[in-house]
Amino acid sequence: MWVRVIRPDAVLVWNDPEVRRRLSWYRSVMLNETPAKFMIVRAVRAPSNIRDLGEEELWRIHDELHQEAEELFKQMYGSGVDEERLKPASPSYLDVKIELARKIMRRCRFCEWRCEVDRVSGQRGVCGLGDEAYVASFFHHHGEEAPLIGTEGQGGSGTIFFVSCNFHCVFCQNWDISHPRGGLEGAGVRVDAKRLALIAKNLRLGGAANINYVGGDPTPNTWIIIESLKYLDVNAPILWNSNMYLSMESMKLLLDLVDIWLPDFKYWNNECAVRLSNVRGKLGYREAVTRNHLLAAKHGDMIIRHLVLPNHLECDTKPILKWIAENIGDRVLVNIMEQYRPEYLVLRSPDKYPDVARRPSWGEMQEAYHYAEELGIVFRPVS
Ligand code: SF4
């Protein structure tokens, strides 16, 4: 029998009991043994008048239905994908989320910049997006962490790259889609919710282990991603690959839609976040990102990425690893990444950013790995 396996570690990684335990929900959805959360959320009935309600009342209904959905997640774990039981309700809990996302667009609070601009009327905040979304590319990504590549018969992570970002990292490796010189329109193809769902469906049917929303950053596109799930008619784990500077509102919308979180935890020191990523929103980087990691780890599976920056071991890497170990270390996997290289503005003006104008040294990486080991962090299977 012909079996499509591109990376042997994508199969072997599941022999590790800690990987299986920590990513049990995700794995079960990936193998179609459990329905993805969005399918369950879509089957939960909502009151018929949700389109007439204000934001406050919608949140009240949302929070009630969240409890119902959480119960169903437990009941449906490992139960297979029963189409009759998962028949979409009309309106559904997902429709409540769609209504809320539309209201947030009117006074944008998808991330902690909280620009409060009316994107539907064409106003633009820090991310530069109105009520449009652009996809730069989508493909089966074979370079992600081993559990995200899929096991026998699956082919990579179904990655969808959105144009635009709410951060402005001076070392960005994707600056051509995060902050394209020619404007956002020229960097991708405009999509609506149905087209986005079709892209996701084709990726999954083509063997993708998951649907991986990334960019730039997916956060400014939260509204259209949620809406697209209304039209996605295949089971697929939803993966949120983000800088994690989401607002509390976005977190609440996504907590019971995302099957596996893939957040970047870049900085501990807020001054580093301001200087190197221009994070100057209403809430500090560390306050927002630690809050969101706690929430996501409580509600879902998670692989945290930490990119080791040269000369930032003491101010960022070590305190981040310590915080993870003390707060969520028993539940998550951590990818300690050595891939940093000077790019974008650092490459153009290394004198302005001397601390990050080189790759991390072998010694710095070893120090990070040893420290993580001392703390008992599980990082080897995904680093
Ligand atoms: S997504 Fe964030 S950066 Fe973009 S307009 Fe909304 S609050 Fe501002």
The residues spanned by each domain of the chain are 8-382
Query: Whose CA is closest to atom 1 on ligand 1?
Result: 220
Cβ atoms of 343 and 173 within 8 Å: the answer is: yes
Please report, as a single letter, which amino acid is at residue 223.
W
Query: Any idea what DSSP says for residue 376?
Result: T
Q: Are 362 and 372 in contact (CB under 8 A)?
A: no
pLDDT above 50 for 151: yes
State the distance from the centre of ligand 1 to the C-alpha of 98, rounded, in angstroms. 17
pLDDT score at 2: 42
Predicted TM-score of the model (pTM):
0.97
Q: How far is the CA of 218 from the centre of ligand 1 (A)?
A: 11
Q: Rounded CA gap, 262 and 273, in Å?
A: 19
pLDDT greater than 70 at residue 375: yes
- For 45-99, write each residue's pLDDT tens digit: 999 999 999 999 999 999 999 999 999 999 999 999 998 999 999 999 999 999 9
Could you tell me which of 152, 273, 160, 266 has the C-alpha nearest to residue 210? 160
Could you tell me the pLDDT band of residue 211, with boundaries at 50, 70 and 90?
very high
Give distance in angstroms: CA of 167 to centre of ligand 1. 10
The single residue listed with the structure tokens 């920056």 is 309
φ, ψ for residue 201, nearest 5 deg:
-60, -45
pLDDT of residue 219: 98
CA of 222, closest atom in ligand 1: 1
CA of 109 to the centre of ligand 1 (A): 6
Nearest CA to ligand 1 atom 5: 125
Tell me, in angstroms, the distance from the centre of ligand 1 to residue 154's CA: 35
Q: Which residues pair with 305 in a beta bridge?
A: 264, 335
Residue found by looking up tokens 């780890």 in the block: 297
User: pLDDT by residue (tens digit) across 2-57?
Assistant: 445 568 898 899 999 999 999 999 999 999 999 999 999 999 999 999 999 999 99
Indicate the pLDDT class of residue 341, thresholds 50, 70 and 90: very high
Give residue 111 CA to ligand 1 midpoint distance, Å. 6
How far apart CA 212 and CA 138 sit, in angstroms, is 9
- According to CATH, the superfamily of the domain at 8-382 is Aldolase class I (3.20.20.70)
Alpha helices in the chain, H assignment, sequence order: 8-12, 17-22, 24-30, 37-42, 55-76, 93-106, 175-178, 193-205, 222-228, 248-255, 270-277, 285-299, 318-327, 344-348, 362-375
Q: What's the rounded Cα separation, in Å, for the pair 284 and 151?
A: 39
Pocket test for ligand 1, best of 105, 107, 108 (most atoms within 8 A of CB): 108
Tell me, what's the pLDDT at 8?
A: 86
Compute the average pLDDT of residues 133-141: 96
What's the mean pLDDT in 186-194? 96
Mean pLDDT of 332-339: 98
Distance CA 346, CA 169 (A): 9
Instruction: Count the residues in the chain.
Output: 383
Other beta carbons within 10 angstroms of residue 190's beta carbon come to: 12
pLDDT the model gives residue 153: 64
Which amino acids bring their CB within 6 angstroms of ligand 1?
Answer: 108-111, 113-115, 117, 125-127, 166, 219-220
Task: Give pLDDT, residue 4.
Answer: 56
**Across 288-305, average pLDDT:** 98
Asked if the peptide bond before residue 342 counts as cis, ω within 30 degrees of 0, the response is no
Nearest CA to ligand 1 atom 2: 111
Q: Which of 200, 207, 210 is nearest to 135 (CA)?
A: 200
Q: Candidates 102, 105, 114, 115: which one to mutate for ligand 1, based on the most atoms within 8 Å of Cβ?
A: 115
Position 1 pLDDT exceeds 60: no
| pLDDT tens, position by position, 215-239 | 999 999 999 999 999 999 999 999 9
Cα(164)–Cα(310) distance, integer angstroms:
26
Average pLDDT over residues 293-318: 98
pLDDT in tens, 246-272: 999 999 999 999 999 999 999 999 999
Contacts of 305 (CB under 8 A, 6+ apart): 262, 263, 264, 265, 334, 335, 337
- Helix axis angle for 362-375 and 318-327, nearest 10°, is 20
Question: What is the Cα–Cα distance from 185 to 189, expressed in whole angstroms?
Answer: 7
CA 41/CA 135 separation, integer angstroms: 25
Instruction: Please tell me the distance from the alpha carbon of residue 152 to that of residue 81, in angstroms, as a whole number.
Output: 20
Dist. CA 221 → ligand 1 center (Å):
9
Query: 52 CB contacts (<8 Å, ≥6 apart)?
Result: none
pLDDT band at 142 (very low <50, low <70, confident <90, very high): very high
Q: Kindly give the number of the ligand 1 atom that is closest to the alpha carbon of 119.
A: 5
Q: 106-133 burial, b if ≥16 CB within 10 A, otherwise e?
A: bebbbbbbbbebbbeeeeebbbebbbbb
Across the chain, mean pLDDT equals 96
Report yes or no: 268 and 323 within 8 Å, Cβ to Cβ: yes
Write down the pLDDT at residue 3: 46
pLDDT given for residue 7 in this prediction: 81
Share of the chain above pLDDT 70, in %: 98
91: cis peptide before it, omega within 30°? yes
